[in-house]
Structure 1
Amino acid sequence: MTLNLLRNGLRGEVLYFSLAGVAVTSAVQFVHSTPKARLRLGGLKYLTLGFQAVFTYLPIVVHGQWWGSMAGFLAGSLLLLLRPRPAWALYGAVGVSMFVIPLLGGNAWQKSFYYCQSSLLCGIVVYGLSHLSRVIRELHDTRDELARTAVSQERLRFARDLHDLLGYSLSSITLKSELIRRLIPTQPQQAVEEVAEVLTISRQSLADVRTVASGYRDMSLEQEIASARSVLTAAEVDVRTEFRLGVVSRQVDTVLATVLREAITNLLRHSRASRCSIIVSRDHSARVRLTVLNDGACPTHRDASPDSGSGLGNLAARLQAVGGRLTFVRTDNGMFRLVAEAPAEQTAEPATAAKELATGGLGA
């Protein structure tokens, strides 16, 4: 715009006045192109737009001077600050004005058309560059937010897996250690056998922690039932099991094994159970059901550790991630029933689990 002024051969106060108008218009445009200018300016945007319009058309009114793209900044500001429908209407009006006014002032239609199209082109460039910078900034902000979300979900996965794995393993080791202490004076040979099982559980716990850190872990429901039987027997709980699983996907098998592990952990920590039934069945619709039923579910009996965990919330999220559901009920006669259902094949996206946990889930 400054080069156009100098090329028009303006001299004296006309040149200085026009240059001042260009400077003021550019300063106002800088404000209009800043991030979130529409929200930040609020009602003041109409005042700044009017101020910019005055300094855009003042050289024409006072000195009868115009130059290419002189109204381009105003056209771009209208697109940036106003709602789309009035913005584009006023944008077109600015272009028409830059054709009609020079034409009425005695310019040839070719030159008038040049003023019109150069102003409209300048407005589109101003709008496009300003909007592009906003989009890039929003893209960077979104990428940062996605990175923070990914870190949060990984922390959640790590904490959930550690709770599911170590809660059960440490409970098993504690129970078997107490059993070993009672057996050593009277049945040393059986105590040695129990020590071997404790070593096996501790080694498996170490392997589980390593797989949690690597983000990959498979579990077997059948193996977990055998492990649960061993642990409950050591805790002097009468165990009855039924197992009719069939072929299931790796994800479903792992989730059901995790559910059983957490159910046994809760049984040991939050009840005085003497009987427990573990039933795995499969219906005609290819849905697998795991039922854990135990007595001794006293509401006042809690584990003395300061952190009671969030096991049932974890289980509900894990089951929903494979298209299943978790239900549980405590009856008046002290019975506690936990039922986990899931399709034999995974049907839901894993991201559903994070959403379920984020909305609260179930408490342990």
Structure 2
Amino acid sequence: MQDLPAPRLARTILTVALICYLSVTITNLAGTEPRTPQLLTSLVCVCLIFFLQLRHSRPGARLAPLRQRILTLSAQALLTYLPITVFHSQWGSMAGFLAGSLLLLLPSRWAWPAYGVVGLTMLVPPTLEGLSVHETVYLCQSTLLTGLVVFGLSRMADLVQALHETRGQLAGMAVTKERLRFARDLHDLLGYSLSAITLKTELIHRLIPTHPRRAMDEVSDVLTISRQSLADVRAVSSGLRRMSLKQELGAAQSLLQAADVEVRADVGLSELDQQVDSVLAAVLREAVTNLLRHSRAGSCSIEAVEEAGWVRLSVVNDGVDPAYRDTSPDSGSGLGNLRTRLQMASGRLTVSRGPGDTFRLTAEAPASPRRRLAAPGHGELPIQDPAA
């Protein structure tokens, strides 16, 4: 039994409990020494009630069409009350199954009153038979208790099934989340690294005829970038990749200068929380990648400051085509990736176009974990699209 899957075990417990309750009724009837036709009739009725109860206790039975539920409940009611005329109080315990079925299949506003009515009807047979008050109350109470047991065990089986399905869905979501993390990190990494290698290679091609020594230095830079990219890819696959804003700032300045972009940097930050440091480094890397891919920038300003417990990174560049809109299906998901990263750090991302052909990207995040937890609007923070 312990090796059975939990949903099957819950259904088995329910089935065994139903059989035990039914066997009690059969035992009580056999004790009255009924004639053979009566005994066979009672066995047929017990089996029919058993299969109807299994139908009412199955997962999703409450979602069946109303007409179908009324039909099966009516059949169970007939099998419950008609045999009482023959077997009297000995058959009264079958009413507990009907009470449980009513709780399982009817809306709550109807189910509980109907459940109570079934219990009260079990006061009638022992009263007509002249049984004691104790036996009369016992039959009513046992009916209500049986109904609750049937209802509780059926709901338990449903909840166990739902729990296992939810656990499977959560496992699938965890796998999907990890895939998205890998895709996001790989996008950020390769977009920047390939852009850097392309620019450096173009620069080397121009320098070889006139400045071979400087070209050799640039080759060394390309080798360094490619080795770092390989190490980053390995780190991404293991989930251990960490980024530093200061390191990314140095790499960004070198890359932009190689692309003949004038760089002005103003960074006044103390030691940052690791998550914030990694997020802002990714923002800077994506900003530089977009600058190189989507503009003809001549100058770029990078500012990183900490104010009132918030860290703000701003990247402003010129050379943006006001009419540019990348509508291709493979236009990239860089800003969406940054949005996701900043949401995880309770931050926000804004992009806007300034006078002329300038473009500004600003990322803000609480500087410490405590501030992130208490940050107003913690949750989904939209990107402000300049095209909106």
SS of the residue 2:90 aligns to: coil
> 1:186 is matched with which residue?
210
1:44 aligned to which of 68, 77, 81: 68
Q: Which moved more, 1:173-182 or 1:86-95?
A: 86-95
- Measured against aligned partners, the alpha-carbon deviations of 1:166-207 in whole angstroms (never above 9, x if no partner) come to 110110011001111111111111111111111111111111
TM-fit CA distance, 1:274: 1.0
SS at match of 2:321: coil
Q: Deviations over 1:340-364 (max 9, x none)?
A: 1222213447xxxxx859x999799
Q: Is the 8 A contact 1:263 1:338 kept in 2?
A: yes
Equivalent position of 1:352 in the other structure: none
Q: Which amino acid aligns with 1:44?
A: Q
Q: What is the aligned partner in structure 2 of residue 281 from structure 1?
A: 305
- Where does 1:40-119 land on structure 2 (aligned, <5 Å)? 40-62=64-86, 64=88, 66-67=90-91, 69-119=93-143
Task: Give the one of 155, 164, 181 matched to 1:131.
Answer: 155
Q: Secondary structure at the match of 1:326?
A: strand
2:305 is paired with a residue of what secondary structure?
Answer: strand
Could you tell me how far 1:64 is from its partner in structure 2? 4.0
Give the corresponding residue for 2:363. 340
Q: Is the 8 A contact 1:292 1:339 kept in 2?
A: yes
8 Å contact from structure 1 (residues 68, 118) kept in 2: no
Q: 1:332 Cα shift?
A: 5.5
Please name the residue that 1:321 is paired with: 344
**SS of residue matched to 2:173:** helix
For residues 134-153 of structure 1, the aligned pairs below 5 Å read: 134-153=158-177
Q: For residues 60-84 of structure 1, give each alpha carbon's deviation from its aligned partner in whole angstroms, at most 9, with x where no partner exists.
A: 2356463362212111111111233
Q: Which residue is 1:5 aligned to?
A: 29
Q: How has the CA–CA distance of structure 1 residues 65 and 291 changed in structure 2, closer, same or farther, with 3 Å as cutoff? A: closer
CA distance in 2, matches of 1:154, 1:91: 49
SS at match of 2:63: helix
Asked whether the 8 Å contact 2:28–2:90 carries over to 1, the reply is no
Distance 1:162 1:177 in 2: 22
CA shift, 1:38, in A, is: 1.2
Q: Contact conserved, 2:353 with 2:386, CA < 8 A, in 1?
A: no
> What is the RMSD of the two structures over their aligned residues, measured on CA atoms?
2.6
In 2, Cα distance between the equivalents of 1:102 and 1:361? 75
Q: In structure 2, do the counterparts of structure 1 residues 345 and 41 end up closer, same or farther at CA, with 3 Å as the change threshold?
A: same
Q: Is the 8 A contact 1:291 1:339 kept in 2?
A: yes
Output the CA distance in 2 between the equivalents of 1:303 and 1:224.
Answer: 26
Aligned 8 A contact 2:92 2:122 in 1: no
Which piece of structure 1 moves more, 24-33 or 80-89? 80-89
Structure 1 residue 147, shift from structure 2 partner: 0.8
Q: Report the AA paired with residue 330 of structure 1.
A: R
Structure 1 position 246 matched with structure 2 position 250: no
**CA shift for structure 1 position 15:** 2.5
Is 1:208 the counterpart of 2:232? The answer is yes
Give 1:338 deviation, angstroms.
1.0
2:254 maps to which residue? 230
| Distance in 2, Cα, partners of 1:48 & 1:334 | 73
Q: For residues 360 and 87 of structure 1, do their structure 2 counterparts lie closer, same or farther at Cα, with a shift above 3 Å needed?
A: farther
Give the whole-Å Cα distance in 1 for the aligned partners of 2:254 and 2:327. 24
**Is residue 271–residue 296 contact of structure 1 (8 Å, CA) maintained in 2?**
yes
Supply the AA of the counterpart residue of 1:127.
F
CA offsets per residue over residues 102-130 of structure 1, 9 Å max, x none? 12222233433443333333222221221
Structure 2 counterpart of 1:297, from 316, 320, 323: 320
**CA–CA separation in structure 1 for the residues paired with 2:364 and 2:345:** 10
What is the rounded CA distance, in whole Å, between the counterparts of 2:144 and 2:383 in structure 1?
A: 53
Give 1:324 shift: 1.7
| Equivalent AA in structure 2 for residue 260 of structure 1 | L
Instruction: Give the distance between the partners of 1:71 and 1:199, measured in 2 at CA.
Output: 83
The equivalent residue for 2:219 is 195
Q: Distance in 2 between matches of 1:361 and 1:80?
A: 50
1:216 CA drift (Å): 2.1
Q: How many residues align?
A: 357
Does structure 1 residue 259 correspond to structure 2 residue 287?
no
Aligned-pair identity in percent equals 56
d(CA) in 2 for partners of 1:362, 1:145? 33
Q: Can you give the 5+ residue segments of structure 2 that lack an aligned partner in the other structure?
A: 1-24, 374-378
Is 2:186 the counterpart of 1:162?
yes
Report the residue type matching 1:75 in the other structure. Answer: A
- Summarize the Cα distance change of 1:235–1:308 in structure 2 as closer, same or farther, 3 Å threshold: same
Give the Cα separation in 2 of the matches to 1:232 and 1:185: 22
CA distance in 1, matches of 2:360, 2:246: 20
Q: Which deviates more, 244-253 or 57-66? A: 57-66
Q: How far off its partner does 1:94 sit?
A: 2.1
Asked whether the 8 Å contact 2:80–2:98 carries over to 1, the reply is yes
Distance 1:160 1:342 in 2: 19
TM score, norm. by length of structure 2: 0.85
> What secondary structure is seen at the aligned counterpart in 1 of 2:122?
helix
Native 8 Å contact 1:56 1:70 kept in 2: yes
3-state SS of 1:77 partner? helix
Please point out which of 193, 199, 205 is paired with 1:175.
Answer: 199
TM-score scaled by structure 1? 0.90
Deviation, 1:25, is 1.8
Residue 238 of structure 1, CA deviation: 1.1
